[in-house]
Amino acid sequence: MLCWGSWANTQKLAQKSWRFELFYWDYVIGILLMSLIFSFTMGSSGELGRGFLDDIRQAEMSNVGNALLGGIIFNAANILVAAAISIAGMSVAFPVGIGIALVLGVIVNYMASPQGNAMWLFTGVALITIAIVIDAVAYRKKASQSHKIPTKGIVLSVIGGVLMALFYRFVASSMVTNQEQPEAGFLTPYTAVFVFSVGILISNFVFNTILMKRPFEGQSVTYSQYFGGSGKEHFTGILGGMIWSIGMTFSIIAAGKAGFAISYGLGQGATLVAALWGVFIWKEFHGVKGTTCLLVTMFSMFLIGIGMIIYAGI
């Protein structure tokens, strides 16, 4: 949750001189790089489980395919939600896209692997969903409402939210159920995240190339512009991807004990962390009247909802 809610700070740092489409290449490279670091360190040590290279060798292609597909779906979802934010604004994209991802994602993962107290889990999810809507209302007050919200932005939010809800399940279905004594043919968490990251990278040659040529905002960008970027610009994007990858890896590992529904639900609480960065570090609501009560209510709902999700797994 902390990592998923914090990686976007690197995009904010880079956005003054570095287009999103160019930043996104480095972000994807950072995800893959961090997954390799984890695989050859934590994923290759210890007395129990199965080492990374041994795990790759014994993996069944169906499970490798599921993890790859999870990466492809995530990449499509991530780009669509980003596009929805640029077209319709945070006040639409967040409650629609992230709200759908949270609710549908928890339902899908709980139905596939029911673990934890359903009442506490779904009550916590409901409170977090309300908090996301309140967050959107606060952004609506911050933004000018003189323009009509484009239908395309809403459609992209819905599609992106549905895809975001589904990617985690594909990765989960490729994984072992016992990380200490892993079943044959399935992937351990570190291997699953690595294969998932490869899926993101491969699909990015299609998705992001299209986005570069036909961006949702501004002029098209080229690969020569990407390779002409400074070391600082490239490092910022790679760092963002590594931060996100840490969050994904820990979320998948935690699911071995907490269950996939609870782990995914807590991860989507990243909106709270992002809001904390926005309010207290980036001062996004400085001088905006009528938002203090909304923000206090939002943070309260988030904290209570996250507490309920945690309690659901105890």
Which has the higher per-residue pLDDT, 90 or 225? 225
DSSP string, 115-182: -S-HHHHHHHHHHHHHHHHHHHHHHHHHS---SPPPHHHHHHHHHHHHHHHHHHHHHHHTB-S-SSSP
The pLDDT of residue 149? 62
Give the range among 58-72, 153-167, 235-249 with minimum mean pLDDT: 153-167
Q: What is the pTM of this model?
A: 0.93
Q: Other C-beta atoms within 10 Å of 177: how many?
A: 11
Give the range among 50-54, 138-142, 161-165 with minimum mean pLDDT: 138-142
Those residues whose C-beta lies under 8 Å from the C-beta of residue 285, and which sit 6 or more positions away, are 138, 142, 278, 279, 291, 295
| Per-residue pLDDT reduced to its tens digit, 63-80 | 999 999 999 999 999 999
The pLDDT of residue 146? 47
Give the range among 20-29, 149-158, 166-175 with minimum mean pLDDT: 149-158
Task: Please compute the mean of the pLDDT values over residues 240-257 and round it to a whole number.
Answer: 96
What is residue 187's three-state secondary structure?
strand
Domain boundaries, the chain: 8-117+149-259
Task: Please compute the mean of the pLDDT values over residues 277-295 and round it to a whole number.
Answer: 90
Give residue 290's pLDDT band: very low, low, confident or very high (50, 70, 90). Answer: confident
The pLDDT of residue 162? 96
Which has the higher per-residue pLDDT, 88 or 80? 80
Burial of 240 from C-beta contacts in 10 A (0-12 / 13-18 / 19+): buried
The pLDDT of residue 83? 84
